[in-house]
Amino acid sequence: MVDFSASHQRTSSASDYVALLKPRVMSLVVFTGLVGYVAAPGAGDWVLGFAAIFAIAVAAGASGALNMWFDSDIDQVMTRTRTRPIPSGRVDREEALMLGLTLSALSVVTMQLAAGLLAAGLLAFTIFFYAVVYTMWLKRSTPQNIVIGGLAGALPPAIAWAAKTDSLTLEPMLLVAIIFFWTPPHFWALSLLQKNDYAAAKVPMLPVTHGARATRVQIFAYSLLLAPLAFAPVFTGLGGMIYAIVSALGGAFFVFLAFRVLRSNAGEGVAVEDKQARNLFAYSILYLFALFAVILAERGFA
């Protein structure tokens, strides 16, 4: 039963509920999904394409709401998440749960209507994987949480591809793999900066369980895997000449920044030493965006 007695909850606005959907994560998912849809073969139908991308966006929002419902105890402790709608008292926990479940169902039904069983099934699996496997299980139990859990954030291009073609081939799986191997260095760079927060919330992030040094080594190792992998679409024809250049130069710079993180003392508790991790974190967002933007441009205007 929803306790709607507190005055601050009675004055909550629509934007508080939108905040439950993690709009920034949603925008990344919409972008990668859009690239998956545009890159997939065939002309497609713009109404069905819009509906499919919309369903992916709503599913991402639903997953965010379910995550905030389950993790409100952690969010209360961490500085970065303390102002979220539930810990700040603007939205009730049960409301977040209901919103998450309702939007999950609506997104899968919409995908089924617009695209079919394969895309709808993948979408349902993604919500389940993020909300149950990652949020409820992995996040609190293993330092590999964001590695395995990263699959949920990586799947949208494949879902969109499946929505357009009703099939899955090597190419969408390459897009998934790029995001999957991008996630650990991206998140671990952030977690080096927020090690104490994660420790206070008892979340077993790698810097907390294995220390900053081991995290820096892992970041570098994953960057060595990511850079060549991100070049692979050139060999399948998914990426063209511009992609080859952006991927090669961008990947080399990613490895360079990861190497600087490796050589630094980031995450050791000295603020000035965190600069290299901050640089890598910021660049990683630009890097992923650039890779997908080039595919969008090359395939969209081909």
Partner 1 sequence: MSEPVVLKPEELKARKRRNLWLAWSIVAFVLLVFAVTVSKMQALSLLGISQ
> Which residues of this chain interact with partner 1, rule CB under 8 A?
4-5, 7, 10-14, 17, 45, 47-48, 51, 54, 106, 110, 113-114
For CA atoms 213, 191, 148, 171, the dihedral sign is negative
Q: For residue 34, give the nearest of 54, 18, 12 by alpha carbon.
A: 54
Nearer to partner 1, 110 or 145 (CB): 110
Nearer to partner 1, 11 or 301 (CB): 11
Q: Is residue 30 within 8 Å of residue 53, measured between CB atoms?
A: yes
> What is the radius of gyration, based on Cα positions, of the chain?
20
Rounded to a whole number of angstroms, the minimum distance from the CB of residue 250 to partner 1 is 36
Which stretch of DSSP H or E encloses residue 161? helix 156-165
Output the CA–CA distances (angstroms, integers) from residue 130 to 5, 135, 171, 191, 214, in the order listed. Answer: 31, 6, 23, 19, 26
Which DSSP category does 116 fall into? Answer: -
Rounded to a whole number of angstroms, the minimum distance from the CB of residue 224 to partner 1 is 44
Nearer to partner 1, 97 or 173 (CB): 97
Rounded to a whole number of angstroms, the minimum distance from the CB of residue 84 to partner 1 is 18
Task: Give the integer Cα–Cα distance in Å for 171 and 237.
Answer: 9
Which stretch of DSSP H or E encloses residue 260? helix 241-263
Nearer to partner 1, 108 or 288 (CB): 108
Q: For residue 100, give the nearest of 71, 124, 73, 69 by alpha carbon.
A: 69
Rounded to a whole number of angstroms, the minimum distance from the CB of residue 158 to partner 1 is 21
Q: For residue 59, give the nearest of 90, 99, 86, 94 by alpha carbon.
A: 99
Rounded to a whole number of angstroms, the minimum distance from the CB of residue 93 to partner 1 is 18
Amino acid letter, residue 142: T
Rounded to a whole number of angstroms, the minimum distance from the CB of residue 14 to partner 1 is 4
Rounded to a whole number of angstroms, the minimum distance from the CB of residue 109 to partner 1 is 9
Nearer to partner 1, 15 or 79 (CB): 15
Task: Give the integer Cα–Cα distance in Å for 215 and 189.
Answer: 8
Nearer to partner 1, 11 or 237 (CB): 11
Nearer to partner 1, 50 or 289 (CB): 50
